[in-house]
Amino acid sequence: MSGRLDFEADMYNYIKDRTERFGSKVVKTLYKNVQEKQKGKWDNISKEVLILKLTEEFSELINALKANNPEHITLESTDVSAVVMMISDNFGRK
């Protein structure tokens, strides 16, 4: 039984480490947008605008993957995640 508990603890820590690291990048991306592009809160952004933004960001992520550019992949992944979070925040369950 100890082996299973060790595996579960290891997997929990693996997931937690990577989601916290990635989440930190998303926060930095959002804050950078506020500072550099004078973007503010997203509470009033419509579904249509967010869908368009998600489509644009996803296309940029696909291009980064095709170019096999790790830095660009990370940047575009955080952009996609930020838009997905905005959609969830605005239109998902509270």
- pLDDT of 4 reads 77
Enclosing domain of residue 73: 2-91
pTM of the shown model: 0.86
Q: How high is the pLDDT of residue 36?
A: 82
Predicted confidence at residue 79, as pLDDT, reads 96
> Which regions of the chain are under pLDDT 50?
none
* Number of domains, the chain: 1
- Give the model's pLDDT for residue 65: 98
Beta-carbon contacts of residue 16 (< 8 Å; ≥ 6 apart): none
What is the reported pLDDT for 72? 97
Closest CA to 82 of 69, 56, 12: 56
